[in-house]
C-alpha cells in the first residue's frame, strides 16, 4: 500500500499519516520526492483498509501496490535515489546514484598495512573516491585466506584518513557487521549472502549505506526482494551491484549480465553498480566490461586493483594493476560524457600524500 501525499502537504500532515499507519500496527516509510512525498506501508499481510487514511488532510490518494517489492519500486519513489556522503575529515562530499559515477577500487582483501596503503594511494590518485578491501572474506575453502578481521578494518580507516577515500567492506554475518559498521562508510553484502535474510535485516537496522551484490543465480525479482528486506527495516540507502551470474559459459568466471542495468532502472529508483572483476574473473576482461557497464548506464563500478597481483592472497587473476586503473578511468570518463555523466578527474601526478588528502 502506498499513500501519495498532495504536493502542498505539510510535514505535519505527513507525520500525522505516519503516526496513523503505525497506530494501525503497520510500518510507515516516508519517501520525500521532488514533487511530493509518498509513504510506503509495510507489515500488512493483506490489504490495508484505505478508508480512514484517505480522508486525512494532505492525502492525495491511496494506492494498492501489486508488485511483491514495494519500497525499492519506482511506484513508491519516482526520483532516482542519490546517496550522499557529506564532507567529513579528509573526505570531500561524494555521491552514488548522481551525475558523477561512484567508483570503488581496491584489493580483494586487505593483506597488510603496506599493501593497503600502496594500493590506496594509487586509487586516490586515479580519481576514485571509494576504497574497497575485504577484512572478512567469504572463501569457498575454509583453508584459504579468511581476511584480517578488525585489524584489516583499522588499516582501512587509516587509508581513509591518509587519502580521503571512503571505505567499502564486506560483512559476512551479524558479528562482523557489528565491527564493519563502526569503521566502514558502506557495508557490502556479498553474492553468497544475498539471501541471508537475517543478515539483510540486520543491515537494514544499520545507519550506514549498504552495497548489495547480486546472488550468483538470483533473478531480478529475487535481487530486488533482497534489497526490500534491507529497506523494510528502515535503511533506504541501498546500492545494488551486478557481479555476474553462473551460466554454462566457461571462458569467464561468471557471466556479467549488463542487461540487468536497464531492467533495474525501469523498476527501481536504487542506484546500480557493476563489478567487472568478479563478473569476468580475468584481468584482461575487466576494462572492456567496465567500459560496457558505463555505456549501459551503470551508476558506478567496483574494481579489484593490486600492485602485485601475482602475490595477492585472493583474486589476483582478476585484479588489474594501478596503471590499468588509470587507463580504465580515463576511458570511462570519456564514455560517461556521452550520457551526460562524469567520472572524477585524476589527481596531479606529483601531489604528495597531504595534497592528495587536501584535494579531497
Ligand atoms: C568481493 O567483492 O570480494 C566478493 C567476494 O564479491 P562477491 O560477493 O560478488 O563474490
Ligand atoms: Mn574478490
Per-residue confidence in pLDDT tens, the chain, 360 aa: 899 999 999 999 999 999 999 998 999 999 998 889 999 999 877 777 777 899 999 999 999 888 889 999 999 999 999 999 999 999 999 999 999 999 999 999 999 999 999 999 999 999 999 999 999 998 999 999 999 999 999 999 999 999 999 999 999 999 999 999 999 999 999 999 999 999 999 999 999 999 999 999 999 999 999 999 999 999 999 999 999 999 999 999 999 999 999 999 999 999 999 999 999 999 999 999 999 999 999 999 999 999 999 999 999 999 999 999 999 999 999 999 999 999 999 998 777 777 787 776
Residue 311 CA to ligand 2 center (angstroms) comes to: 14
Q: Using the mean position of ligand 2's atoms as its centre, give its distance from the Cα of residue 172 in Å.
A: 14
Q: Which atom of ligand 1 is nearest to the CA of 191?
A: 8
With contact defined as beta carbons under 8 Å apart, do 302 and 293 qualify? no
Which ligand lies nearest to the CA atom of residue 314 in the structure?
A: 2
Residue 354, classed as helix, strand or coil, is helix
Cell 576511458 found at: 331
Whole-angstrom distance, CA of residue 355 vs CA of residue 230: 38
Which ligand 1 atom is the nearest neighbour of the CA of 302? 2
CATH at residue 320: 3.20.20.70
In a domain, 73, yes or no: no
- C-alpha count within 13 angstroms, C-beta hemisphere, residue 229: 21
- Ligand 1 centre and the CA of 123: distance in Å? 19
Clarify whether residues 42 and 113 are in a common domain. Answer: no
Q: Is 243 in the pocket of ligand 1 (CB under 6 A)?
A: yes
Does any ligand 1 atom lie closer than 6 A to the CB of residue 214? no
Look at the chain and report how many structural domains it folds into. 2
| Same domain? 54 vs 201 | no
Regarding whether 163 and 14 lie in a shared domain, the answer is no
Q: Is the CB of 313 under 6 A from ligand 1?
A: no
**Rounded to the nearest whole angstrom, what is the distance from the C-alpha of residue 36 to the centroid of ligand 2?**
41
Q: Are residues 31 and 139 in the same domain?
A: no
Name the nearest CA neighbour of 315 among 324, 323, 305.
Answer: 305
- Cα 215 to Cα 223: distance, rounded to the nearest angstrom: 7
Kindly state the helix (H) or strand (E) to which residue 302 belongs, with its residue range. Answer: strand 300-304
User: Considering only CA atoms, which residue is closest to atom 1 of ligand 1?
Assistant: 108
Atom of ligand 1 nearest to the CA of 243: 9
Query: Is 12 within 8 Å of 37 (Cβ atoms)?
Result: no
47 and 177 in a single domain? The answer is no
Cα(278) to ligand 1 centroid in Å equals 7
**Closest ligand to residue 318's CA:** 2
* Structural domain range at position 203: 83-359
197 and 148 in a single domain? The answer is yes
Q: 278 CB less than 6 Å from ligand 1?
A: yes
Amino acid at each position: 500500500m502506498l499513500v501519495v501525499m498532495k504536493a502542498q502537504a505539510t510535514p505535519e500532515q505527513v507525520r500525522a499519516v505516519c503516526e496513523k499507519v503505525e497506530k494501525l500496527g503497520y510500518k510507515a516509510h516516508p519517501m520525500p520526492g521532488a514533487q511530493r512525498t509518498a509513504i510506503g506501508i509495510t507489515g500488512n499481510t493483506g490489504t490495508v483498509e484505505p478508508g480512514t487514511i484517505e480522508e486525512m488532510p494532505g492525502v492525495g490518494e491511496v494506492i494498492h501496490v501489486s508488485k511483491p517489492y514495494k519500497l525499492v519500486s519506482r511506484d513508491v519513489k519516482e526520483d532516482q535515489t542519490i546517496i550522499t556522503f557529506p564532507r567529513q575529515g579528509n573526505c570531500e562530499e561524494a555521491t552514488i546514484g548522481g551525475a558523477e559515477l561512484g567508483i570503488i577500487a581496491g584489493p580483494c582483501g586487505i593483506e597488510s598495512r603496506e599493501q593497503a596503503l600502496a594500493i590506496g594511494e594509487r586509487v586516490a590518485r586515479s580519481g576514485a573516491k571509494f576504497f574497497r578491501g575485504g577484512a572478512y572474506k567469504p572463501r569457498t575453502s575454509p583453508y584459504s585466506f579468511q581476511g584480517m578481521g578488525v585489524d584489516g578494518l583499522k588499516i582501512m580507516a587509516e587509508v581513509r584518513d591518509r587519502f580521503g577515500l571512503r571505505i567499502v567492506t564486506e560483512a559476512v554475518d551479524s558479528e562482523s557487521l557489528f565491527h564493519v559498521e563502526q569503521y566502514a562508510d558502506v557495508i557490502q553484502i556479498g553474492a553468497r549472502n544475498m539471501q541471508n535474510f537475517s543478515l539483510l535485516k540486520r543491515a537494514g537496522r544499520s545507519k550506514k549505506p549498504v552495497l548489495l551484490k547480486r546472488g550468483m543465480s538470483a533473478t531480478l525479482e529475487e535481487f530486488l526482494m533482497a534489497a526490500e528486506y534491507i529497506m523494510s527495516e528502515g535503511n533506504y540507502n541501498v546500492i545494488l551491484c551486478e557481479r555476474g551470474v553462473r551460466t554454462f559459459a566457461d571462458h569467464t568466471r561468471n557471466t556479467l549480465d549488463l542487461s540487468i542495468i536497464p531492467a533495474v532502472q525501469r523498476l527501481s529508483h536504487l542506484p546500480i553498480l557493476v563489478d567487472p572483476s568478479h563478473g569476468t574473473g580475468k584481468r584482461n576482461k575487466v576494462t572492456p566490461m567496465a567500459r560496457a557497464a558505463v555505456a549501459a548506464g551503470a551508476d558506478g563500478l567496483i574494481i579489484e586493483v593490486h600492485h602485485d597481483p601475482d602475490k595477492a592472497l585472493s583474486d589476483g587473476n582478476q585484479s588489474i594493476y594501478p596503471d590499468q586503473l588509470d587507463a580504465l578511468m580515463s576511458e570511462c570518463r570519456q564514455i560517461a560524457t556521452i550520457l551526460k555523466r562524469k567520472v572524477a578527474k585524476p589527481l596531479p601526478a606529483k601531489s604528495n600524500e597531504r595534497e592528495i588528502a587536501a584535494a579531497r
